[in-house]
Amino acid sequence: PVQGTPTVLWANVPADVVSLSGVEIVAGEQVRGLATQRVFIRYRAGVTAQDEILWGTRVLGIVSVRDAENNGRLLTIDCLEAA
């Protein structure tokens, strides 16, 4: 790829998405909403906090990724959605 051009990798995978909380913050003179989501998918190697999840028309930024049971079966992915 050309330097500076992002690489886009995607996969359409089944997932459970759970909304954990929502909060509004004031940044400068703008009110901004943040929604916290937890996503569960089958284990996939290579998912990192530098990735994003496209859920319908919503973009979820990944905050953390963990194999909660350390058995290579399920990833728990915590995300933030900026509204």
pLDDT band at 75 (very low <50, low <70, confident <90, very high): very high
Q: What is the pTM of this model?
A: 0.74
Question: What's the token pair of residue 27?
Answer: 């940044």
Give 65's pLDDT tier (boundaries 50, 70, 90).
Answer: very high
- Nearest of 13, 18, 65, 69 to residue 41 by alpha carbon: 13
8 A C-beta contact, residue 81 and residue 57: no
